[in-house]
Structure 1
Amino acid sequence: DYAFESDPSLAKLDLVLRPEIEVRPYQTEALKAVVNQDSQDSSKHTVKSGIIVLPCGAGKSLTSILIAAAIKKPVLVVCSTIIAAEQFCNEFLRFTTLMASKTGMFAGAKKWPFNGPSGVLFTTYTMLVDNKNRASDSKRMANFVHSTDWGVIILDEVHQVPASGYSKAITKLKARVRLGLTATMLREDEKIEDLNTIVGPTLYHAKWKELADRGYIAKVICTQIETSMTDIVQKAYDAVQPSNGNQNNMLGHSHHLKSLLAILNPSKMQICQRLIQYHEARGDKILVFCDHIDAIKLYAEKLDRPLIYGGTSTEDARNLLQRFQIDAQKEQINTLFLSRIGDTSLDLPAATVIIQVSSHFGSRRQEAQRLGRILRAKKRSEKGFYSRFYTLVTTETHEITFSEKRRQFLEEDCGYGYQ
């Protein structure tokens, strides 16, 4: 445990929550699980390293800001994308009295330190990984990050840290406390256990269903729609044979081809189109997810809706996200197609409906993260309001097996019924 009040070696950070900010009871519980301020003697106040698990939309950022404001030492915030780092920076400025000059950025082309001996720096996991070919300004910023003694490092989407390279980069940083944030302690490769060593144990874990019942996050109706293939596509699917040439490669290729046919099943596209039309007419905001880049490009083109994927520039993505959030008739976007890039770190409180046309095998974490995109729906407090989560599945294909695994997770771990 770190006795932060009695450590004069780190410069104090003037970080105070704005008086009008409303803190929810479970956020206070999370704060108490991490920071011990029970003693009358402030020199005995301590903070420990570990992980906070809160559903998307339950205010993970604010919870971590509460902890940083209690410690009042230099903060490093590590995010998964540039947009997420910018969003986190905006939250610090919105929720606290922190001056903009006390924030620094080391993400993409934005590279500047904060002013003075203490502040908050925002970066991404990618920027922390050693890169021999860094430009001089990046080298200077990397040196700043590594030479600074951080009071607390906030690791957003901490489940990504066990990825090779990231964990090594994190352990090299000098920090009194490491605080991980995630919506789900799941990785399909079982490496989640590594977080115990790299960050610390889970200190607070809020149950999704409980928060929904208390009105903090939206209630969700999950629906799986199963559709069979058209005869032509079924014939093509059955005709795909693994070649005896390079077994591994070809098996991979045949699986790729079969999954593409299952996604591009015309009946599935038709159902997707009808759901979009139905929900747009009701004034909903819809996110359509597909992991397969070629397939999602085709869907977006055929259904004439905008798309954000890895090849979309940060500027275009930012513009589309802003237009998705607004209700003005002229500029607004009501449906947005997203590749796997939309699984994490996009702040989209306007979204009320998700349509999943394909997903990453049976990944439970991905299912939870996608569901999280509609948990903070702005209308969540309206009587009788439910967000909707649709999974479209082609029958008699591998999609059925994978969807069962994910469905079981949502029912058992998150408490959401499927229909």
Structure 2
Amino acid sequence: MQPDHARRPIWVCENGRIIFETFHPQAAQVADFLIAVSEPVSRPQIVHEYQITALSLNAAIANGIDVEQIIKVLRKLSKNVVDENFLEFIREKGKSTGKLRLILRDGRHFLESEDAPLLRHLCSNADVAACLVEELAQESHVVEVDSMKVEKLKLAAHQLTLPLLQEYEFRRDREDTNPQLAAVLRPTVYLRPYQQRALSKMFSVDDVAKSGIVVLPCGAGKTLVGIAACCRVGRRALVLTTTAVAVDQWRRQIQLYTSLPPEDVYTLTAEQKRPIEDADRRACIVISTYSMLGFTGRRGGDTQFILDQLQQLEWGLLVVDEVQVMPARTFRTVATMIKSHCCLGLTATLVREDDLIQDLHWLIGPKLYEANWQQLQDEGYLARVRCIEVWCDMSTEFFTEYLQAADSPDVPGSMRATLQRALWTCNPHKLKTCEYLIRFHEQRGDKIIVFSDNIFILKDFARRLGRYYICGSVDMRERMQILSEFQESSACNTIFLSKVGDNAIDLPVANVIVQISSHYGSRRQEAQRLGRILRPKPQTSNSSRGKFNAYFYSVVSRDTQELYHANRRQQFLVEQGYNYQ
């Protein structure tokens, strides 16, 4: 222990775990430092936990933070004497991080470094050498990479703990290959302080854009951050998102926030296919979905022509919305099939139930910025949500069937879990509770979203209550009509959504969620659904500053496996400081 340990805010463990007392007088400045050099593990109200990892150090050094500066600040803030072995680990990471760059120039990829011995060491690896167009010349600082093998090169460098930086000097790019984009933010657009901080991490050096990931809560304005980045880079931009509804929302937000002419905003979906006119000389923003670019089957002639355009052009910026879905095997090739100088990933939930989330650090880049959910709530940028888990007893008949299904010889083994899930979802007591909550909040004048992954219950329950529903079988036109009526009409106060509404749907008027069926223990889905009501709410007679103005109900069947899944689903939000009652 340091003699003045009581005045110091953190404890640094031998394994890089950091315990942070948030009641320290300089807590805000300490938190900014910790989020820059480490990964947040848990951030409730009083004590936060962070973890310094190789990836977090890569991100810190890429953002221009010197290794010795990190060590100096850790020693200054720590209550205990920081372990020397851990400090040596930090120094070792600093020797190679930030010194290797992957550059796109005239449609060709190059690997370069000012440290010729380090570049030679990397290229001596067999997996790396297989990705090169030619052998690295002696004492050379640059070598060409096969553009079809960029993903393999990134993975090989990551496995050697020699991460590659992707940076873009956008002011120096040539007009003939990447023309200037005539887009600036409108004078009335205001960037919130945390949005400005996120952008400052991406553009920490003037006229240089860094590839990486920005993590902001749902409803905190990730779309505006992406649009502002497109305007700052000022070159062709390609935006990828998850659904056609999200594509339309991006299009409308670009037209709302920027001066870009509508004819320079292109959308590529199953229903909208407009080729880029005069593609070689036109600066534009194209918005599409992962599935449109990642689909490997046969395509129509119009679609294939547009995709060929996208792959042939150079893009100044690739914006990857809901970036947590990109590591999926069907989508990950999208990041390398597009020739982009820089890539910005946006997400609220940098979590997956598999181990693929770590792949984003080499597919996209390091985490540039992550906001604190509770801090944004306290500052009024997010709604104050009350999270409630409602336990419902199973009816006698349903509970009997549930218990018998576990080992019934009449039910195939592969179907037992499915049958049990259907029984706890269709529990009559649960559905009655849901109906009560809907009617109670409708009488208050609230706007309610009911989530159900079970499509049968979704449709049947919505029809019985006379409410609209949206699922995969509802076409795009009808979806937009339902969402518009929910937003604007007092006659439509409740809608039922399947998992198609989990993300990338903007419904700022919604302030109540009732969840009756979910995808097992998915932490990401829980956070995304909460995010549908996180937009800041106007003050009403039912709310005042410091009081709850949004409600998230998770209705579960007692004494079933659903309780176990519900507990796991809540872990991410609990780590962000939310409490379930």
**TM-score (structure 2 length as normaliser):** 0.68
For 1:77, what is the secondary structure of its paired residue?
Answer: strand
C-alpha separation in 2, matches of 1:215 and 1:125: 33
In structure 1, the gaps of 5 or more residues are 39-44
**Contact (CA 8 Å) 2:170, 2:209: kept in 1 or not?**
yes
What are the residue-to-residue correspondences of 1:321-340 with 2, within 5 Å? Answer: 321-327=483-489, 329=490, 332-340=491-499
Residue equivalent to 1:408: 571
State whether structure 2 residue 273 is matched by structure 1 residue 111: yes
1:92 correspondence with 2:257:
no
Shift of the alpha carbon at 1:23?
1.0
Listed as ranges, the matches of 1:195-344 within 5 Å are: 195-242=360-407, 250-327=412-489, 329=490, 332-344=491-503
1:392-407 aligned at under 5 Å gives the runs 392-407=555-570
Does the CA contact (< 8 Å) of 2:390 and 2:553 recur in 1? yes
Cα distance in 1, alignment partners of residues 178 and 349 from structure 2: 32
Partners of 1:260 and 1:295 within 8 A in 2: no
Amino acid aligned to 2:191: V
- CA distance, structure 2, for counterparts of residue 244 and residue 195 of structure 1: 45
Q: Deviations over 1:269-301 (max 9, x none)?
A: 111011001000000000011111122222212
User: What does the per-residue CA deviation read over 1:176-223, in whole Å, with 9 as the maximum and x for residues that have no partner?
Assistant: 001111111011012101111111111010111111110001011000
Q: Distance in 2 between matches of 1:252 and 1:30?
A: 47
Asked if the contact 2:380/2:536 (under 8 Å) is kept, the reply is no
State whether structure 2 residue 541 is matched by structure 1 residue 388. Answer: no
Write the deviation string for residues 145-201 of structure 1: whole angstroms up to 9, x where unpaired: 111100001011111101112101221110000111111101101210111111111
The answer to whether structure 1 residue 36 and structure 2 residue 198 are counterparts is: no
Q: For residue 529 of structure 2, what is the aligned residue in structure 1?
A: 370
Q: CA deviation at 1:409?
A: 2.7
Mapped contact 1:290–1:359 kept (Cα < 8 A) = yes
Contact 2:450 2:495 in 1 (8 A): yes
- What SS does the corresponding residue of 2:369 show, helix, strand or coil? strand
**Match among 308, 322, 335 for residue 143 of structure 1:** 308
Letter in 2 for 1:399: E
Q: 1:7: Cα distance to partner?
A: 1.5
Residues 380, 135 of structure 1: alpha-carbon distance in 2 compared, 3 angstrom cutoff:
farther
AA aligned opposite 2:578: Y
- 1:186 aligned counterpart, secondary structure: coil
Residue identity over aligned pairs, in percent, reads 38
What do residues 233-263 of structure 1 show as CA deviations (whole Å, max 9, x unaligned)? 1111122144679xxx933311111111111
Once residues 242 and 319 of structure 1 are traced to their aligned partners in structure 2, the CA distance between those partners, rounded to angstroms, is 46
Q: 1:134 aligns with which of 289, 299, 309?
A: 299
Structure 2 counterpart of 1:75: 237
Map of 1:3 onto structure 2: 169
Q: Secondary structure at the match of 2:343?
A: strand
Deviating more after overlay: 189-198 vs 125-134? 125-134
Aligned to 1:15: 183
2:507 aligned partner = 348
Task: Name the residue aligned to 1:41.
Answer: none
User: What CA deviation, in whole Å up to 9, does each residue of 1:340-367 have, x standing for no partner?
Assistant: 1110111110100000112111110000
Query: Is 2:63 the counterpart of 1:63?
Result: no
What residue identity is the alignment partner of 2:512? V
Distance, in Å, in 2 between the alignment partners of 1:353 and 1:404 is 20
Of 303, 312, 325, the match for 1:160: 325
State how far apart, in whole Å, the 2-side matches of 1:196 and 1:280 are: 44
State the SS of the aligned residue for 2:333.
helix
Counting matched residue pairs gives 406
Distance in 2, matches of 1:69 and 1:152, equals 10
One-letter amino acid of the structure 2 residue matched with residue 166 of structure 1: F
Higher Rg: 2
Separation in 2, partners of 1:236, 1:75: 55
The superposition leaves residues 371-406 of structure 1 with CA deviations (integer Å, 9 ceiling, x where unpaired) of 000001543695334210000111110011111112
Gaps of 5+ in 2: 1-166
Are 1:224 and 1:393, in contact at CA under 8 Å, matched by a contact in 2? yes
Instruction: Give the TM-score of the pair, scaled to structure 1.
Output: 0.93
Could you tell me how far apart the structure 2 residues matched to 1:334 and 1:186 are?
A: 32
Letter in 1 for 2:461: Y
The offset of 1:37, in angstroms, is: 4.4
Residues 370 and 176 from structure 1, CA distance in 2 versus in 1: closer, same or farther, beyond 3 angstroms? same
Q: Kindly report the root-mean-square deviation, in angstroms, between the aligned alpha carbons of the 2 structures.
A: 1.6
> Contact 1:350 / 1:377 at 8 angstroms: preserved in 2?
no
Contact between 2:276 and 2:306, CA under 8 Å: does it hold in 1? no
How far off is 1:114 after superposition?
4.2
Cα distance change on mapping 1:136 and 1:408 into 2, 3 Å:
closer
Change (3 A) 1:334 1:182: same
Cα displacement string for residues 72-127 of structure 1 (whole angstroms, at most 9, x for unaligned residues)? 01000111011101110111110000001111111112111444521101111111
Q: Secondary structure at the match of 1:15?
A: coil
* Alpha-carbon distance in structure 2 between the residues aligned to 1:402 and 1:70: 43
1:321 corresponds to which letter in structure 2?
A: L
Contact 2:406 2:417 in 1 (8 A): no
CA separation of 1:241/1:408 partners in 2, compared to 1, >3 Å: closer, same or farther? closer
CA–CA distance in structure 2, aligned partners of residues 364 and 343 of structure 1: 12
Q: Distance in 1 between matches of 2:487 and 2:529?
A: 17
Does the C-alpha gap of structure 1 residues 378 and 115 become closer, same or farther in structure 2, counting only changes over 3 Å? Answer: farther
The one-letter amino acid paired with 2:374 is K
